[in-house]
Amino acid sequence: MSQLSPYLLIALLSLLLTSCGGGGGGVSTGSDNNQYSTNQPSGLTTTGRDNNQSISTSQPPSLTTIGNKSVFSGETKIINLSATGESTLTFSATRSDGSALPSFISITTDGVLTLSPNTSASSQDYQLLIAVTDAANNTDNEIITVSIVANLAPTLSDIENQQSYLGAEDKQITLTAQDNENHSLTFSAKQTNGDALPDFITISTNAAKTAGTLIIKGDTAAVGNYATEITVTDEFGAQNSKTLMITITNGLTLNSVGNLQLIQGEQLTKTLSSVNLGTEAVSYTITLNDGNPAPDFIHINEDLLTVDENADTGEFNLTLTAIKNNTAGRITDSENIKITVKEIVMPKTVNILPLGDSITQARYDHLSYRYPLWKLLIDEGKDINFMGTQNQTYDGTRSWPSYNGLPFDQDHEGHSGKTADWILDNLNGYFSIYNENEEIADIVLIHLGTNDLLWTDDEPLTIKNDIGNVIDKLRTHNPMIKIVLAKITPFNYSGHILDNDNAFNATLDALANEKSQDDSPVIIVDMASGYDIDEYTFDGLHPNAVGETLIAQRWFDALINNDFL
């Protein structure tokens, strides 16, 4: 066998190694130092025979599959990347188009990828190129999609306004919310002005973080209104809020008594009551407003306030208090009241002077308006006395029916056929008789002017002035006399007609305005309006029984409505 050349020997050796399973990855050296690359198994080092230098080979890095990722707005998600390789590995990331990462995405060189969008981030996709590089700049990479999913705020159920009171049992209100993404929830509360809730109002979240509880403690509560904001927050910071008013009362309300009055010698008893939201017994006390004890004749026994018959006269300013005790302490509600004890005042008989002509006096076969007026005043409980020098009708004395067991008071100052100036001329004589009888007229009922219009040529203004002088003369008898002046009834008599609307009656409003005084008022009674001659008179002038009743009612209404009685 002929001797093989060195080159052929090397080729045969290479073929032998290949046939034995050797892989690529060997390190080649330049031809100027006669070193040749050989295919060797991974990691195998070959040493040149000429200078003993080693030749190393290494495997490129391999990035472990990452896959697409999603993250909720407000959420922070940390992803640990991994790769295989035989030298120091460095991780990096860019957008797939090579641009910089968005601010919410960061990556460390050792492979920690952090996704942290803020709570307001909207839904959006980002294409990322994740790469791993070894020391020899060999790389591996993967393109992934990072999706931001906008986090929806949970929905807090409506919460009704709440009421409690001092000493009440703890009140627990269940708070519920719906989160479509099934996130964990946390419940919190504060006052709407930003202040923290008082200590007796607390809020908690259940262990499952799906519901909450608002607790109002009555034992330590304070009276007031607390505007409260309840907030539910999911695990990524999305929130929803509701407001409610929490009202704390003292749980005890004294029903108002108000001011009380009685006459000395009377006894007053008032039942006291309260609205009590608890079951505790309620008691009552009464003191003077300055805190000193109430007078002995004003006292409380259980729920009865009594003022005794022997009470002193005067005004007593008092504080009435309802009291109960419970776990919150002494609960009270009070009212300031005034009890007035008045002296016994004997009612004064009011003297009424009916002054006029035949309509005041009446004829024998008629009662006059004075009789139905007297009955109305008796029914009203008024203590009155008719006065005057006359006690008969025009043509004799008739029998007047009694009423409620009382005889009719027949006195009057009615003079048939007489005019206003005639009455004026005779008043002084009447006054002397009144004085002899120790009677002073308190009220006068004037119905004058009919005869002046029937039998004289006097003008309406002349008659008006005569009646004005009558008023002046009456005030010499009593400066404080109250004057009720009638617009006279219409008539159709002896060829003379006076309608409802006539010039004389029209002057009387002005007369009343001229003559009225604070201590001696003059008021008008309109006897003319609605007065039908055919219906209300028996002869075209003098009232029949129906007319007398109508006139009486109008006098009565004037006396009562103007507080003359």
Q: Each residue's pLDDT tens digit in the chain (565 positions)?
A: 334 344 334 444 444 443 434 333 333 333 333 333 333 333 333 333 344 444 445 689 999 999 999 999 999 999 999 999 988 999 999 999 999 999 999 999 999 999 999 988 999 999 999 999 999 999 999 999 999 999 999 999 999 999 999 999 999 999 999 999 899 999 999 999 999 999 999 999 999 999 999 999 999 999 999 999 999 999 999 999 999 999 999 999 999 999 999 999 999 999 999 999 999 999 999 999 999 999 999 999 999 999 999 999 999 999 999 999 999 999 999 999 999 999 987 778 999 999 999 999 998 888 899 999 999 999 999 999 999 999 988 887 777 889 999 999 999 999 999 999 999 999 999 999 999 999 999 999 999 999 999 999 999 999 999 999 999 999 999 999 999 999 999 999 999 999 999 999 999 999 999 999 999 999 999 999 999 999 999 999 999 999 999 999 999 999 999 999 9
Element (DSSP H or E) covering residue 78: strand 77-80
400 SS3 class:
coil
Q: How far is CA 329 from CA 197, 280, 281, 320, in A?
A: 22, 12, 13, 19
Q: How far is CA 9 from CA 4, 21, 36, 353, in A?
A: 6, 19, 14, 168
Domain 350-561 sits in CATH 3.30.70.141: no
Q: Would you put residue 38 in left (φ > 0), alpha (ψ -120 to 50) or beta?
A: beta
Contact 78, 111 (CB under 8 A): no
DSSP state string for 418-468: --HHHHHHHHHHHHHHHHHTT---SEEEEE--HHHHHH----HHHHHHHHH
Cβ count within 10 A of residue 553? 14
- For the 62-149 domain, the top CATH level (class) is mainly beta
**Start and end residues for every CATH 3.40.50.1110 domain found in the chain:** 350-561
- For the 155-249 domain, the top CATH level (class) is mainly beta
In this structure, the chain runs to a length of 565
**Start and end residues for every CATH 2.60.40.10 domain found in the chain:** 62-149, 155-249, 258-342
Using a cut of 0.85, tell me whether the model's pTM lies above it: no
DSSP state string for 24-38: S-PPP--GGGT----
Q: Are strands 350-356 and 384-386 parallel, antiparallel or unpaired?
A: parallel
pLDDT the model gives residue 310 = 94
pLDDT the model gives residue 16 = 42
Going by the DSSP 8-state scheme, the letter that residue 107 receives in this structure is: E
Contacts of residue 469, Cβ cutoff 8 Å, sequence gap at least 6: 424
Q: How far is CA 493 from CA 534, 538, 562, in A?
A: 11, 11, 33
Q: Are strands 162-165 and 239-249 parallel, antiparallel or unpaired?
A: parallel
Residue 205 β-bridge partners: 212
pLDDT the model gives residue 57 = 55
Contact 59, 26 (CB under 8 A): no
Going by the DSSP 8-state scheme, the letter that residue 150 receives in this structure is: P
Element (DSSP H or E) covering residue 375: helix 370-379
Could you say which architecture CATH assigns to the domain 258-342? Sandwich (2.60)
Separation of alpha carbons 471 and 478, rounded Å = 10
pLDDT the model gives residue 34 = 33
